[in-house]
Copies of this chain bind each other. A is one copy, B any other.
Amino acid sequence: MSELAVRELLALDRAAQDLLFRAARTADTFTDEPVTDAQVAAIHDLIRYGPTAYNGQPLRVLLLRSGAARARLLPYVSSGNRAKTATAPLVAVLAADVDFHERLPELYPHRPQARDWLADRAARAEQARFNAALQIGYLLVGVRAAGLAAGPMAGFDAVGVTREFFPDGRHEALLLMNVGHPGPDAWRERLPRLDATEVIRTL
C-alpha cells in the first residue's frame, strides 16, 4: 500500500495523524514556554474518556511545579535523564492507585460487587499498573493533542520515587513524563519501527 492509500483508509484527517503520531516525537529539550494548569486540565478532560477495565481509572498524576519538588525528584532520575528533567517546563510523575477499587461502587454502579472481586492486593496492583499504562497511552496522545511534546522516561528509580512522593503506600510510580514545547535539537533521528508482518499474525 502507498503512503497515501494508508492515510486515506483512516477517518482521522491527515493533520491530526501527523499531530498525534506521524510527525510527533519524544522531546529531549524544551523551550522556556510554560505549560499552564488550564492546558493540563484540557488534556485530562479529553483523555479521561478512554476506557479502562471496570471503568476503574487507576492513573494518578503528580505535577512537579515548584523548584523544591523538582529537587526531590532528581536524585531518583538516571544520569542521562537528569538535565532535561531539571529544565523541562513541566514534569509529571505518573502513578497507579492500587486501591482504585474503593471507587468502583460509584464508577461501575451496575456491578458494585466488582470491588470485592479485587480484594487481593497483588492481583489488584497488577490490574492497576496495566490499566494505568493504558491511560498513560491516552495521556501521551492527549499531550500531543494539546500541541505539546511529551518526553516519557522509564529511566528512574520507581521504588525510590514511590517512597518519596507517595508515602501512603497505596500508589506505585510507573513513569516520568516531561512536557513542553520542543527546544533546539529536541530529537534524534527517528528509530526504526517494526513492520506489520512482524507484529500482526492471523489465524
Contacts and interface: CB of A to CB of B under 8 A. Distances in A.
A12 interface: yes
Interface string A174-191: 100000000000001011
A74 interface: no
B21 A16 contact: no
A44 B1 CA distance: 13
A92 to B, nearest CB: 9
Interface string A133-154: 1111110110001110010101
A38 interface: yes
Nearest to A47: B21
A66 interface: yes
A199 to B, nearest CB: 6
B202 A65 contact: yes
8 contacts: A11-B147, A45-B196, A63-B201, A65-B203, A69-B203, A108-B191, A129-B130, A134-B136
A63 B133 contact: no
Interface residues on A, range: 35 or more
A202 B48 contact: no
Given A53-B154, A134-B137, A200-B61, A10 B147 contact: yes
Contacts of A54: 154
A83 interface: no
Nearest to A147: B11
Closest CB pairs A-B (n = 10)? A137-B137, A11-B147, A133-B133, A69-B203, A12-B145, A9-B42, A53-B154, A16-B16, A55-B191, A48-B193
A1 B191 contact: no
B199 A57 contact: yes
A41 interface: yes
A106 B16 contact: no
A172 to B, nearest CB: 11
Contacts of A140: 50-51, 134, 137-138
A98 interface: no
